[in-house]
Amino acid sequence: MVIAENPRPPLELRMGVTRIYIDLLAAGVWGPDDDDWRWALAEVLTALPPHDRDDEDVPDLPLSYMSSMVAVGLALLAQDTTLAGGHPEDILWRSTWNTLRPWLASARTEIVDDYLDVPSQSYARVADRGTIEWLIELATSVADDPHAETRATLAAAGLTVEFRDGVWVGTAGDAASRKVAARITTLVGDPCAVIVVGGGKTCAVLRSGATMAMGERTPALWHVMKMPTMSTPTSLLTSPDGLPASRERIALGSHSPTLTGVARDLGVDLAHITEALRKSV
């Protein structure tokens, strides 16, 4: 793409090209089943900001317009995606978001209105102001709270979770605590420590690298296992075939080098987590 060439065209031209894509989407140029626009728009957006804030001598006001345009583009890319989804469009959005997120801090909602189009054609795709404001707020929160994005991902998945002393603590409601703990562990990613209480049962999961430990009330055991390639905590802990036969079984209150090593890597209190499990037995 021309605007990604080196040396790149000036910022004004890059913004002009981006505006054209936003307008074409609002005009419904791409059909309902044509997702090619996502990759084209992601490439245009990624090439839009200066590679380095000192790379181009751009005054603050044009940068605010550029950042506001980035916010609009990210809102468009976010349509029909989920924060923790595994589809290509989900992965594309997260990659573009991670690249451009720092610029949203300088976006201005009053400027955003200049880039909001009113749909007038079939298949029109336009950015929603509410989504834009949420993305700007999330980007600002991430700067102050490194867990803000994870909290948003969990909330979007309908999970009630708090972060306490290095542990993600959730409630399962009527669902199986192991299933919910596996889901939270999958969404939070590596490394993490999770405790879920629900239905009189408690499940804890500790994950560090390829090693995962899962403790439950019945039987009163820690199950320590290696995660196979391409597996997730959800697929491994909720498999119809059961847990891997090669797993290490450790009675609650007992220890093993692998289990204590995982807890140490995560910086969590293994005794405290084990006591929470034992109280539910």
d(CA 156, CA 154): 5
The mean of the pLDDT values for the chain is 87
**159: CB partners within 8 A, 6+ apart:** 170, 180, 183, 184, 187
Same domain, 52 and 145: yes
Higher pLDDT, residue 193 or 55: 193
Same domain, 76 and 122: yes
What are residue 221's phi and psi, to 5 degrees? -140, 155
**pLDDT band, residue 37 (cuts 50/70/90):** very high
Same domain, 144 and 179: no
**pLDDT band, residue 156 (cuts 50/70/90):** confident
Structure tokens at 85: 């989804």
Same domain, 147 and 185: no
d(CA 31, CA 162): 41
In the chain, % helix, strand, coil (3-state, to 5) comes to 50, 15, 35
Residue with tokens 């603050």: 60
Domain that includes residue 249, residue range = 159-279
Average pLDDT, stretch 266-279? 88
Structure tokens at 20: 């054209």
Which of 153, 188, 206 marks a domain boundary?
153
Same domain, 124 and 198: no
Same domain, 147 and 172: no
pLDDT for 21 beyond 90: yes
Structure tokens at 69: 């345009």
Res 43: pLDDT: 94
Same domain, 147 and 45: yes
Res 52: pLDDT: 61
Which of 113, 136, 153 marks a domain boundary?
153
198-250 tens-digit pLDDT = 877 899 999 999 999 999 987 888 999 998 888 889 999 988 878 888 899 99
d(CA 82, CA 272): 34
Q: Strands across the sheet with 161-164, in order?
A: 161-164, 167-171, 192-198, 201-208, 211-216, 221-226, 248-251
Same domain, 141 and 173: no
Same domain, 173 and 113: no
Res 174: pLDDT: 79
Same domain, 168 and 87: no
Which of 130, 153, 176 marks a domain boundary?
153
User: Total structural domains in the chain?
Assistant: 2
What are residue 98's phi and psi, to 5 degrees? -65, -35
Residue 224, SS3 per DSSP: strand
Instruction: Report yes or no on whether pTM surpasses 0.75.
Output: no
Same domain, 40 and 145: yes
pLDDT for 281 beyond 70: no
pLDDT for 109 beyond 80: yes
Cβ 215 vs Cβ 223: under 8 Å: yes
Higher pLDDT, residue 231 or 6: 231
Judged by average pLDDT, the poorest of 26-40, 85-99, 116-130, 141-155 is: 116-130
d(CA 153, CA 82): 8
Same domain, 126 and 185: no
pLDDT for 92 beyond 70: yes
pLDDT for 14 beyond 80: yes
Res 54: pLDDT: 47
Res 56: pLDDT: 58
Res 6: pLDDT: 61
Nearest CA to 209 among 262, 269, 255, 167? 262
d(CA 226, CA 229): 9
CA angle 54, 56, 58 (to 5 degrees): 100
